[in-house]
Chain A
Amino acid sequence: MNEQWSEQIFDSMLEEVVTGKHPPDLSAKIRQAWSQESSAMPGINGNASLVVAKAIVAPQVTSLNKIVSNPRSLRRKSWMMPALCVAASVAFLISCVQYWRIANTGNAPSTSHDDNIAYIPPQIEPDSRGNETGPKQSKLAGQSKARAPLAANDSQVQPSPAQPQASPSGPEKELMSLENLPFASSSPLANNDSADRGSPQIRSTLPSMSKLSEDRIVETIDSQLQMLWKDLNVLPTATMDDDSLVRHSFVRLTGVEPNLVQIAGFVENKTLNRQELIESLVLSPEFANYWSDAFAKRVMYGTEAANAKSESGKALREALSKTVQQRSPWNYSLAELIDSSIIPPNSELDVTNTDQLFLASLAGGGNHRLASRIGVRMLDSAIACTRCHDGQTTGDAQSLQQSRYWSLVALLMGIEAGSPSKPSQPTIVDKQLDLLAAKKANPFFELPDGRMQRAEIVLPDGSEWTSVAGAKTPRQALARWLIDSQQLDRAVANQAWRLVFGRPLVPTSAALDGLGLRERHELLALLGTQFRLHNHDVGKLVSWLASSDAFARGKRVLDRQSWLLATDHEKAAWSKAEFVFAAQGLLGTSADAKTLVGSLAAVTKWSSIDKQGDQRTLLAQPDTGSKPQKSRTAPKSGVNSNTPAMEYLVHRPGILGEEARYVDRLVSSKLTWKQQIEHVVGVTGDYSVSRQVEQLADRLRSEVAGGPREALLKLLWAVRNHDAS
């Protein structure tokens, strides 16, 4: 049905373009009609300027007891009384619950997050697996007690000494000081953690980096995550039942829902156990296609090859899928995107020149898009964020340097898109040898102080490109270096995690979240190493993740009533559990999240009712704008709804301290508004600012109370929501 509507809408727009019949200006006609109509109606002066009917301003409800004013009901007077009666009943019930809560806690429920008020975890006795089993009940305690739940450690509550303290009148202005921007801290090119989280240390519980059995790897994932949950005081959700787990496995590993026979085969007949099910899925062609499609979409984002239906998109996916199905080393597939002359050991000659597809689609404009994509997808680093300035320098760790980014650009100098005979068969022109001969292969770049510096042609680890055996050009050297790179191993492990869990294990930028970042880095390093030791087999890597305990954890059952009744601390705990994979994620699950524009459009709409009172009012109202939902657990979403989706309510913009700090620093810097948008949209290294995104961001800024800061937080939420889809 959506496709039919899409076709119809597109046809009507096409007709407008072809015929030139644009919307007419009907102002005069409408004004005249209204004047005539209102002159016949007593009490309305239709001629009086153009100010006409009275509007009912949305009520600012601050108390649950006031949820009786449903403005929609006022439109239909015949429904007014019943609606008021129902609303009053609901309000009475909620008041009773509220009274009960107050009586039990001895404190009024907080309506705003307060880091100084500690949170005592709910009085829930976990079962033997650590699941929630008891009723949810929270207590608020005074300042002398433990820290707030969001605070994994002091760094999340107290600003780092290196960061400027916010003045009472707001953040202090600074001169282009972009130090401490969080993107630098999570990169493997830089340190594994920021100083305020302590120096990274491999925990004793992690095994040595020798080749482990697959069972041992799964055990290690489980133990590492359970330790993290314990440290952060997070209670995981219950494990899924068999039926849900089969569905979840199919959807996450192949992208398709299982049919009834497949479910029955697993659930009723027990023809396969869980491990066998996952292995059979990972060996299927559907998995190979799904993995290849997911990878191609992200690595080719914004190009024709991102579209699975285009010829170049098909060719790329087929080549990648073949590697997965044959269980060939995946690291070679990635290296071949930069230089197809590399032949994996024990493999047949592949006729698909994937480097032509990859390089030609992304080359151009100084090859910055190409460098950015290689950084995120092959080096697990948002290195492009350092195009204009160095990243953070913390302690004795290496910093992410501007010069390193420009070295990557230098390795790609002279690669240009050619003029193909067919648009679907892109070609590249490699002028690297010519540039080297003419000694013009080192680009200049501008330092923040205005000086120009020549970039060195060195590999991401700082070694000379000429040190790579068999490489005649920098491009070939980069491709060959990547094959044995640990950064590439980590990048693939992170992408596999994202495919299985919906979000990467370690965010490309620490601005996205920093909860338990050190433990996550350690786990990622272990997965990267085991991926390498198991012959870079993507299928195996994914099967380890899908066999873990976290994969089987269910989604938290939330509905409007749960949200209305929950305290801020409970809401924060829900959010935190998802960030550390103790519950299936809500972010990225709605249709709006499929595109960045869609996600941003949704958040723009909800932003107008962002005050908690407005949200409560809306959530307490019956949803008159849509049919009843089949399941109350399914999050209501869609830009066609005024009601914020549950993922927006749970993961509200700015709930993470990292996000707020990142945005604060952007706002207090001397960056222009457009540059600030670019920093937020580009925080994952995948997306760029389109005109429509910019327009929506402008609209947010002008309409949202709180100005640029709130607008950027919402923009960041939209990026996260889209990124998780």
Chain B
Amino acid sequence: MTIEASGQPSLAKQTGEIDLTALVARHQSGVWRYLRALGCDASLADDLTQDTFLEILRRPMVEYSDQATAGYLRRVAHNLFISRRRRDARMMVTERAEDLESTWMRWAGFDNGDSAIEALNECFARLTPRAQQALRLRFAEESSRQAIAGSLGISDHGAKNLMQRAKTQLRECVESKLQ
């Protein structure tokens, strides 16, 4: 899904108001992906994305640019995620927020991660069928390593190696495309 920025100065800059439709359209996929990267499942990511935008609407904000707004939205989403985790008394994963932010920017850039996803799609198609199958089993069906090994007729260790190699290849491929 590609959401293009309008390229025009934001409405907020012109009128001092925030256009909700435009704001959500521009940033929702980035916020959602960011929350997924933090460890939210799809349903929780939906909820927190919604909460993030509502939080923004409740308080005045400074609109320097799309990038600044996106960064602010991520910060709010991050805080909401921490609150949710605290409420659920679950382990925190929020140390070094700056590291997370810079790493996120390296992968997702300024287009909400659309380029990275597109590159990943292309790179995934270039993997061997066995590697693709292993990753599908791991991520889509959440199969255990033993189950993956069984499906492919290889040892546990072989399955682990296969997936590690495939992920390394994918990362290198995506990184070279995003250079």
Contact = CB atoms under 8 A, between A and B. Distances in A.
Contacts of B136: 18
A14 B49 contact: no
B98 A16 contact: no
A652 B57 CA distance: 35
Contacts of B54: 30, 33-34, 37
Contacts of B172: 304, 307, 309-310
B84 interface: no
B5 A699 contact: yes
A129 interface: no
A626 B7 CA distance: 29
A420 to B, nearest CB: 16
B50 A27 contact: no
Nearest to B13: A57
Contact of A608 (B18, B64, B101, B108): B64
Given A26-B46, A53-B60, A605 B20 contact: no
A127 interface: no
Contact of A19 (B37, B98, B139): B139
A512 interface: no
Nearest to A640: B101
Interface in B37-84: 37-39, 42, 46, 49-50, 53-54, 56-68, 71, 75
Given A13-B120, A14-B170, A703 B65 contact: yes
Given A24-B32, A27-B25, A37-B54, A14 B139 contact: yes
B92 interface: no
Given A5-B103, A50-B20, A692 B109 contact: yes
B50 A51 contact: no
Interface string B1-22: 1000101110111011111110
A688 to B, nearest CB: 9
B161 interface: no
A57 B63 contact: yes
Interface in A334-368: none
A696 B32 contact: no
Contacts of B177: 690-691
B105 A55 contact: no
A702 interface: yes
Contacts of B152: none
Nearest to A693: B179
Nearest to A71: B62
Interface stretch (A195-203, A379-387, A595-603): A595-603
A409 to B, nearest CB: 24
B37 A9 contact: yes
A334 B23 CA distance: 53
A596 B110 CA distance: 14
A27 B23 CA distance: 9
A699 B120 CA distance: 23
A54 interface: yes
Interface string A602-618: 00110111000010000
Contacts of B121: 17
B102 interface: yes
B109 A696 contact: yes
A596 B176 CA distance: 12
A30 B63 CA distance: 20
A591 B103 CA distance: 11
B98 A13 contact: no
B102 A54 contact: no
| Interface residue range, chain B | 35 or more
A13 B5 CA distance: 21
B148 interface: no
Contacts of B59: 53, 75
Contact of B64 (A25, A601, A626, A642): A642
Contacts of A309: 172
Given A5-B103, A30-B50, A640-B102, A16 B71 contact: no
Which interface residue of A8, A607, A626 has the most chain B CB atoms within 10 A?
A8
Interface string A127-159: 000000000000000000000000000000000
A38 B58 CA distance: 9
A639 B105 contact: yes
Chain A's interface: helix, strand, loop or mixed, by majority? helix
A8 B34 CA distance: 10
B179 A51 contact: no
A310 B135 CA distance: 22
Interface in B123-157: 124, 135-136, 139-140
B17 A53 contact: yes
Which interface residue of A33, A57, A598, A626 has the most chain B CB atoms within 10 A?
A57
A157 B120 CA distance: 49
A603 to B, nearest CB: 11
A630 to B, nearest CB: 13
A310 B169 CA distance: 10
A695 interface: yes
Given A33-B54, A690-B177, A691-B115, A54 B21 contact: no
B111 A695 contact: yes
B124 A17 contact: yes
A55 B18 contact: yes
B68 A8 contact: no
A626 B99 CA distance: 10
A605 B75 CA distance: 16
A598 B109 CA distance: 8
A13 B49 CA distance: 17
Contacts of A596: 179
B160 interface: no
A16 B109 CA distance: 17
A6 B103 contact: yes
Contacts of B107: 6, 9-10, 13
B22 to A, nearest CB: 8
B60 A54 contact: yes
10 contacts: A6-B103, A19-B139, A23-B1, A56-B62, A639-B105, A640-B101, A642-B71, A699-B7, A702-B7, A703-B9
Given A12-B36, A640-B98, A703-B65, 10 more contacts: A5-B100, A10-B171, A12-B37, A24-B32, A27-B25, A33-B54, A52-B17, A52-B18, A598-B106, A691-B177
Interface of A: 1-2, 5-6, 8-19, 21-27, 29-31, 33-34, 37-38, 50-58, 71-72, 74-75, 302, 304, 307, 309-310, 591, 595-598, 601, 604-605, 607-609, 614, 625-627, 638-640, 642, 690-692, 695-696, 699, 702-703
Which 5 A-B pairs rank lowest in CB-CB distance, beginning with the nearest? A608-B65, A640-B101, A23-B29, A702-B7, A55-B12
Interface of B: 1, 5, 7-9, 11-13, 15-21, 24-25, 28-29, 32-33, 36-39, 42, 46, 49-50, 53-54, 56-68, 71, 75, 95-96, 98-113, 115-117, 120-121, 124, 135-136, 139-140, 167, 170-172, 174, 176-179
